[in-house]
Amino acid sequence: MRLTATLWLIGVCAVCVSARADQPGPADVKGAAVDTASAAPLDPSKDPVFVCPMDPDVRSHNPGTCRRCGMTLVAGIPDPVEFHLDVTVLPRPPQPMQPAALQFLIHDPWKDRPVADFNVVHEKLFHAFVVGEDLQFFRHAHPTFVADGVFQLPITFPHGGMFRVLSDFYPAGATPQLATQTIYVPGAAPPPVQLARDYATKSGENMRVSLSTIPDHPVAGMRTQLRFTIEPGEGLEMYLGAWGHMLAASSDLIDMIHEHPFRYDEDRMIEFELVFPRPQVYRLWVEFQREGIVNTARFDVPVAELR
């Protein structure tokens, strides 16, 4: 059944896109040098405004790319509209520990036609995040475009129970899309998860990752700076067009948030900025690449209620 904004699932499990309160400056835009001393006054009726489709608060009167996410700035963005996305599993029903496939069916919101053209976002046409209800299973993968409006992703579910799927894609001529769906796999489900604060340094394949936050105790609805320090920092590389990728999921899996770094400095620090929408404990998965190896680390961040 097609999941649209009128269905109950969207009412219960909405994708939360973090709001940013920062004011973009020249550092947010690459290839957009401005001579403030000699530039003539801009005429809004004649001079276009170039906007980042992923981070629309990043704007420039010159073409270029967004330093925050790397996307090409475009002269104007269409009004946001939600595309129809169905997610099905083959075979039906899927079985734990048996090969299966997720199929993503995308149709336009006007005539319900399969969508044939997509923009590349961070080197891929489609990003999918799959998380198990125990918050142990995590996968960031890239479904293959197999036909108009159809992407497919091979997957093996480790156990029965609920899995949440966050889809990230960008139809041509539209705006970037984020959508969540729920998949149920027959079989015994894992016990309920109980999360507590975990900022301990994590060891990956060829790096160590540590986390600090500002403020030290994040508050729902307020901006939080998430600062990850990488050791050793030599050999750090961009991964899929960004210095890192992060998925934040609330312990009840209602909130799933995909973010990219706000900034990166030469002291091996990579900073994300996030507004946690609710007082919950959030599990963060961060991905960084060093010397060709992708490292995944996870942290648990309690978020307090605003008082």
pLDDT in tens, 137-182: 999 999 999 999 999 999 999 999 999 999 999 998 888 899 999 9
CATH number of the domain bearing residue 147: 2.60.40.1930
Q: Rounded mean pLDDT of 123-127?
A: 95
pLDDT of residue 57: 66
209 in any annotated domain: yes
17 in any annotated domain: no
Cis peptide bond N-terminal to 232, omega within 30 = yes
Q: Rounded mean pLDDT of 102-125?
A: 94
Contacts of 255 (CB under 8 A, 6+ apart): 14, 16, 248, 249, 276, 277, 278, 280, 282
- Whether residues 53 and 96 share a domain: the answer is no
- Whether residues 56 and 85 share a domain: the answer is no
Dihedral (CA of 5, 130, 297, 265) sign: negative
Domain encompassing residue 60: 49-78
- Whether residues 93 and 142 share a domain: the answer is yes
Q: Rounded mean pLDDT of 286-290?
A: 97
Contacts of 172 (CB under 8 A, 6+ apart): 117, 118, 119
- Whether residues 233 and 260 share a domain: the answer is yes
The pLDDT confidence band at residue 266, using thresholds 50, 70 and 90, is confident
- Whether residues 266 and 245 share a domain: the answer is yes
pLDDT of residue 288: 97
pLDDT of residue 211: 98
- Whether residues 98 and 66 share a domain: the answer is no
- Whether residues 208 and 293 share a domain: the answer is yes
Q: What is the pLDDT of residues 204-227, one digit of tens each?
A: 999 999 999 999 999 999 999 999
33 in any annotated domain: no
The pLDDT confidence band at residue 13, using thresholds 50, 70 and 90, is very low
For the record, the structure tokens of 50 come out as 């170039």
Q: Are strands 84-90 and 59-60 parallel, antiparallel or unpaired?
A: unpaired
- Whether residues 153 and 69 share a domain: the answer is no
- Whether residues 71 and 102 share a domain: the answer is no
3-state SS of the chain is: CCECCCCHHHHHCCCCCCCCCCCCCHHHEECCCCCCCCCCCCCCCCCCCEECCCCCCCEECCCCEECCCCCECEECCCCCCCCEEEEEEECCCCCCCCEEEEEEEEECCCCCCECCCECCECCECEEEEEEECCCCCEEEECCEEEECCEEEEEEECCCCEEEEEEEEECECCCCCEEEEEEEEECCCCCCCCCCCCECCCEECCCCEEEEEEECCCCECCCEEEEEEEEECCCCEECECCECCEEEEEECCCCCEEEECCCEECCCCEEEEEEECCCCCEEEEEEEEEECCEEEEEEEEEECECCC
- Whether residues 288 and 240 share a domain: the answer is yes
Q: How many domains is the chain partitioned into structurally? A: 3
- Whether residues 215 and 279 share a domain: the answer is yes
User: Which of residues 153, 185, 217 is at a domain's end?
Assistant: 185
pLDDT of residue 59: 67
- Whether residues 213 and 126 share a domain: the answer is no
pTM across the whole model: 0.76
Beta bridge partners of 51: 59, 74
- Among 2-16, 108-122, 140-154, where is mean pLDDT lowest? 2-16
142 in any annotated domain: yes
pLDDT of residue 93: 93
36 in any annotated domain: no
Q: What is the pLDDT of residues 47-80, one digit of tens each?
A: 567 777 777 667 677 788 887 777 788 776 667 8
28 in any annotated domain: no
103 in any annotated domain: yes
Query: With pLDDT > 90 as the criterion, what percentage of the chain qualifies?
Result: 66
Query: With pLDDT > 70 as the criterion, what percentage of the chain qualifies?
Result: 81
User: Which of residues 150, 185, 220 is at a domain's end?
Assistant: 185
248 in any annotated domain: yes
